[in-house]
Amino acid sequence: MEFLKTITRDQTINDIELLTDKERWAAIQDFKQKINFFKKINVLRGLTNKQYIKLCNISFEKTIPSHEIIYKQGDKSNTLYILKEGHIKIYSNNAHITDLSAINFFGEIGFLSGAPRMISAITSTNCKIFEINRTNIFTLFKHDDVFMNNIILNILNELSKLPPKYPGVLNI
């Protein structure tokens, strides 16, 4: 059962054997829900089930309280964020440029390029997000060119849809 390879940040396949049947069933259902959620995200569309499983294994869910800075303009970039619940405000040069709600992603430019953050992201409500670390996904990319191409092309496609009104944000 490949999808049990990593259920949570601290729980590995070795731990699965220690779970009761009820706990194991709950872990499997949580994993399936994560895959189904990822299938709704534009930058993650077109992946195979195996690729979604790999993505689940390297992504971590995090709860962030309201009015918390996720990252500031100029910060080091190494994470792509996917908003599961809540609302995020995006700023560029201290000017509010847009709001994001659930089933959205952000941090993609720095995620791909490693360049410092071009914008700031701050929660406006309590949020649940998934974090995908650049190093972890690039390791997967080395072994799966199709996976890499799908993710990068999807991100570029979404970036091309940004209106030119966002100062400091790349428009392709």
What is the pairing mode between strands 79-85 and 104-106? antiparallel
- Res 126: pLDDT: 97
Structure confidence by residue, pLDDT tens digits, 115-160: 999 999 999 999 999 999 999 988 988 988 888 888 888 888 887 7
CATH superfamily of 2-160: Jelly Rolls (2.60.120.10)
CB atoms under 10 Å from CB of 48, counted, come to 12
Query: How is the chain split into domains, by residue range?
Result: 2-160
Say what the pTM is.
Answer: 0.80
Contact between 16 and 4 (Cβ < 8 Å): yes
- Res 64: pLDDT: 97
Confidence of residue 5 (pLDDT cuts 50, 70, 90): very low
Structure confidence by residue, pLDDT tens digits, 83-111: 999 999 999 998 998 899 999 889 988 88
**In the block, residue with structure tokens 């993505």:** 55
How many residues appear in the chain? 172
